[in-house]
Amino acid sequence: MPNCRSAWIETGPADLAGPGGGTSTTIDIEAILDAIKRDHSKLGARMIAVTAPLGSSLKRTTVRAHYLSFQEHEPMVLEFVQAIANKLVSFCFSNAHLNASYAAMHGLDNDARQEASNQLFMEAVDLFVKAQKNTKRSGEFGELIAYLLMEWVIGAPQVVAKMSLKTNPEMPIYGSDGIHLKYDAAADRLLVYFGESKSYAQVTAAIKDAVKSVATALAPEKIRHEFMLVKQQFDLACIPPEAREPVLDFLNPLSATAHKRETIAVIFIAFDFKGFSALKALELDEVPMAFEKALVDALAKHTQTLEDELKSAGIDHRRIEAFFLPVPKVADLRLAFHQRIGWKADPE
């Protein structure tokens, strides 16, 4: 069995009341999933949430946007890259692997502990690079950002770390970039989030490609494959044994709770945005507000494109969570990320 001593075991609530109050024998699934969720809130200093409402005419589509914090008139690209690179370890490895690695560091002197931490990061880099090459991608930082947004903004922890699966030639991996779970206690519903990221210079191309991928991922046979991965990898998520059956029951098509499961697609789009060039003529205290206004105006058009593509793909009735991130140049951000994690190969 993997080392799965989690925050839940150490600090979990004494009362295991379940949905709607329940009895002492029921399990608080919401609290258990919250316990394996990591705190990424400090990213809010580098990736600012747009506060203006970003509406969609589709009732089940939610649109959000973030932008990089500014240093005078320039977005803090390198600082942002450093912030997300620091999250690579938690993105690449399962909770079981991380818990075992951290436990092995206990009792080490400062130098040995630092060396072990550095080794863990380099293993994450190696895993990330190998996975990207195996799937013929060019170092998609977008997968990492989508993971962070699902845990941080949506509040759904990752239960399957796909990086290690993507390096196994005997394990065919397709579909979403990651699998996350959240429990809606009010509705007694398990929410299963599949992430899909696209980082292109042209936002329209990114939206079209993302929707195409999501439409494929939401096909019944693909969803069954993703649920199979959750079941196979569930031990590694470090969810307490008493919660295994209640959670997995939602994923069992023959169970009494299968109808209370909802599948949600999360789309992350990073794209080149021309609005940065107009900022140099502004006073420093005018920059954030002016930029956000320009971005919100542009997102009205992009949201319409997203809606059109969802309708065309026949999935406009599905629940979609869309995130947009404008950057000066996606290619430069990708290169900066490669350099930060020590990936020597140039982007393809």
Please tell me which residue, 132 or 195, carries the higher pLDDT value: 195
> In this structure, is residue 12 part of a structural domain?
no
Count CA within 13 A, CB hemisphere, residue 50: 23
What average pLDDT does the segment 114-121 reach? 96
- Spatial distance between the Cα atoms of 328 and 331, rounded to a whole number of angstroms: 9
> In this structure, is residue 45 part of a structural domain?
yes
> In this structure, is residue 8 part of a structural domain?
no
Q: Out of 9-13, 116-120, 178-182, 293-297, which region has the weakest mean confidence (pLDDT)?
A: 9-13
- Spatial distance between the Cα atoms of 17 and 13, rounded to a whole number of angstroms: 9
277-318: pLDDT as tens digits: 999 999 999 999 999 999 999 999 999 999 999 999 999 999
- Count of domains for the chain: 1
Sign of CA dihedral 35, 38, 42, 48: negative
Tell me the percentage of the chain whose pLDDT exceeds 70. Answer: 87
Residue 302 sits at φ, ψ, to 5 deg, of -65, -35
3-state secondary structure of 219: coil
Angle 111-117-122 from CA coordinates, rounded to 5°: 125
> In this structure, is residue 347 part of a structural domain?
no
Residue-level pLDDT at 219 = 92
133-171: pLDDT as tens digits: 777 766 579 999 999 999 999 999 999 888 777 665 555
> In this structure, is residue 346 part of a structural domain?
no
Q: Quote the mean pLDDT of the chain.
A: 88
Residue-level pLDDT at 139 = 54
| Side chain identity at residue 89, one-letter code | V
Residue-level pLDDT at 14 = 34
Residue-level pLDDT at 145 = 96
Q: Out of 32-41, 92-101, 231-240, which region has the weakest mean confidence (pLDDT)?
A: 231-240
For residue 131, the Cα-to-chain-centroid distance in whole angstroms is 17
Print the domain residue range for 337: 24-341
Please tell me which residue, 228 or 113, carries the higher pLDDT value: 113
User: By the 8 A CB rule, do 33 and 183 touch?
Assistant: yes
pLDDT tier at 345, thresholds 50, 70, 90: low
> In this structure, is residue 17 part of a structural domain?
no
Residue-level pLDDT at 19 = 45
Residue-level pLDDT at 264 = 96
For the stretch 122-125, contacts whose Cβ atoms lie closer than 8 Å and that sit 24 or more positions apart, written own/partner, are: 122/342, 124/88, 124/89, 124/91, 124/92, 124/93, 124/163, 125/88, 125/341, 125/342, 125/343
Structure tokens at 140: 């998609």
* pLDDT surpasses 60 at 213: yes
* pLDDT surpasses 70 at 8: no
Residue-level pLDDT at 132 = 79
236-257: pLDDT as tens digits: 899 888 888 899 999 999 999 9
- Spatial distance between the Cα atoms of 216 and 245, rounded to a whole number of angstroms: 29
> In this structure, is residue 3 part of a structural domain?
no
What average pLDDT does the segment 329-341 reach? 95
* pLDDT surpasses 50 at 20: no
Residue-level pLDDT at 133 = 79
> In this structure, is residue 11 part of a structural domain?
no
